[in-house]
Structure 1
Amino acid sequence: MTAADLRAMLVADHLTHAPGVWDPASAALAVRAGHRAVHLSGAAISATMLGRPDLGFAPATQIADRAATLVPALGGVPLLADADVGYDRPENAVWTALAYQRAGISGICLDDGADADRSAARIAALAEQAPGVVLIARARGRGLDETIERCRAYAAAGADAVFPADLHEADELGPLRAALPGVPLVVSRSEAATGRGRLTGTELAGLGVRLVLHPLAAVLAALRAASLAYRAIAEEGDAERIDRMPPAALTTLFDRPAATADRGTDKIDT
């Protein structure tokens, strides 16, 4: 799939969920589960490659390098990747997007900064000079009104979709949708986020959300499973009581279906 395919998802009349992946094995599992898009987050890279919390440690070069190793396991499923650091000026942002594109990344989740005007200038440069990469502009305003203004500016600068990072509730997304009719919205279901209640997929779609990111759900599940296995080995000498993927399934994990195949019919029992 190309950036055009990802853009088609953003203007579709339904929701797409993009789970987090971080290596070829997790990428292959996401494809086998039937997902049509996946997400490589800075938080996942920080945790699995650097052993650090998500504090902006993962530069664009490291994310591009990791993407290049997992893209072959995706079988054409588009990959979105975070861009959190290393793009202070418009020319830096363009370099990042082109490096991502060479690595096989279809879309970039571009973080903004304190200066919304500078962020809009980066977005305009990307839209003009790197049209082969879908641009999702993250907006972090101080309150609802500033977030709406940032999202409006970023959409006007050429972003394919806007990502109001701190808005999760219907009474926040509703005014944003009204202020930006026709602009696709992206939200994250990060495990670190808090809120009064979780909106259903139907509710999110009705509020203009077209893409939901799940950056750490699989990472945390994998680490939890690994911790249980390590504890069992330490205490009992083996991990027989731990639910695990059958060894035979591991050998077929990367025997992936074609990109045009019916995903969801060729799944691994984990």
Structure 2
Amino acid sequence: MLTGAGTSASRLGSPDLGLITLSEMHANASILASLDRSVPLIADADTGFGGPLSVARTVTAYIDSNVAAIHLEDQVVNKRCGHLQSKQLVSGEEFVTRIRAACMARDAAGRDIVIIARTDSLQSLGLDAAIDRLQSAVKAGADVAFLEGILTEEQGKRVCAQLAPTPCLINIVAGGVTPILSAQQASDLGFKIMIWPIMALTAVYNSVQSVMKELKETGLVAADTNGSGGIRDIFNACGMRECADFDARAGGSALGRL
């Protein structure tokens, strides 16, 4: 999962307040999608970064980077994280135009990508209006419905029931407004897709905070008692053995001993 909040935090060092651009999001998506092509990547495409032509450009760029699915939302271009307050929305008609433009761009590319319609309207317009927006987006060609910022399990159950048979996605964000659910609980409510977009970012944040505190207070960072996380472990996670094997099979010798 490519998160806009995570991309903004990691590439810009900024909160998710609409500062990230298509170029930065696309660059991150390209890297993640190329790491293991057998793992499908769902990528945040924010608002599509403009009008219909900008949405089409966004979709085409993500398709060219082998992204499996994107979600497009109904906030204004100067958007913010879906789990913050006071989000501003475009009209329902403009949201549908974004989705239609995305589907048209997919058709023109002649290649597949899953279009996920996301609405942030629950907070300001209520559940009925949010469901109406998602139903309109599905009629315009969206493959998946995504109600952001669900507050209760009952809301989740209702959106899944009223959007059926269209699959619905639930977004679990640490510290966000949506209840933390297990995969089984989400499935029982009717959700077909579940994402945890800042799971890795949270883990890294907590770990770095811990070791930096240790370094500041003691002057060193003790070795991991489990013996993992050293430089060779990191290189191996990045494919060092596979690189050495490829080099050898091609007739190279430079990577014989690492």
User: What TM bracket, shorter-length normalisation?
Assistant: 0.7 to 0.9
Inter-partner Cα distance in structure 2 for 1:173 and 1:228? 35
Give 1:124's aligned residue.
100
SS at structure 2 position matched to 1:53: coil
Give 1:188's aligned residue.
171
Inter-partner Cα distance in structure 2 for 1:257 and 1:107? 30
Give 1:140's aligned residue.
120
RMSD between superposed Cα atoms in Å: 2.2
CA contact (8 A) 2:145 2:163 kept: no
| Structure 1: 5+ residue stretches without partners | 1-38, 259-270
Stretch of structure 1 that moved more, 150-159 or 80-89: 80-89
Deviations, residues 139-194 of structure 1 (Å, cap 9, x unaligned):
12211111110111111111110100022422112222232220100111011323
Q: Are 1:206 and 2:188 counterparts?
A: yes
Task: Provide closer, same or farther for how the CA distance between residues 181 and 75 of structure 1 changes in structure 2, counting only shifts above 3 A.
Answer: closer
Stretch of structure 1 that moved more, 117-126 or 170-179: 170-179
SS at structure 2 position matched to 1:121: helix
Map residues 17-36 of structure 1 onto 2, 5 A cutoff. none
Identify the match of residue 50 of structure 1 among 4, 8, 12: 12
For 1:46, give the aligned amino acid: S
CA contact (8 A) 1:229 1:242 kept: no
Q: Are 1:255 and 2:217 counterparts?
A: no
- TM-score by structure 2 length? 0.77
Q: How many residues align?
A: 219
1:72 CA displacement:
2.5
- TM-score by structure 1 length? 0.74
Inter-partner Cα distance in structure 2 for 1:207 and 1:151? 18
SS at structure 1 position matched to 2:157: helix
SS at structure 1 position matched to 2:170: strand
Give 1:220's aligned residue.
202
After TM superposition, which residue ranges in structure 1, 4 or more long, deviate above 3 angstroms?
197-200, 241-244
Q: Are 1:179 and 2:151 counterparts?
A: no
1:227 CA displacement:
2.0
Q: Percent identity?
A: 26
Identify the match of residue 112 of structure 1 among 68, 74, 93: 74
Inter-partner Cα distance in structure 1 for 2:73 and 2:26? 16
Give 2:250's aligned residue.
none
For 2:131, give the aligned amino acid: I
Inter-partner Cα distance in structure 2 for 1:112 and 1:201? 26
For 1:248, give the aligned amino acid: R
Deviations, residues 200-225 of structure 1 (Å, cap 9, x unaligned):
42332233211111111210110221
Inter-partner Cα distance in structure 1 for 2:99 and 2:47? 15
| Structure 2: 5+ residue stretches without partners | 76-89, 243-258
* Bigger radius of gyration among the two: 2
Give 1:103's aligned residue.
65
Inter-partner Cα distance in structure 2 for 1:138 and 1:182? 17
Inter-partner Cα distance in structure 2 for 1:200 and 1:66? 28
For 1:222, give the aligned amino acid: V
Inter-partner Cα distance in structure 2 for 1:253 and 1:177? 38
Inter-partner Cα distance in structure 2 for 1:133 and 1:178? 25
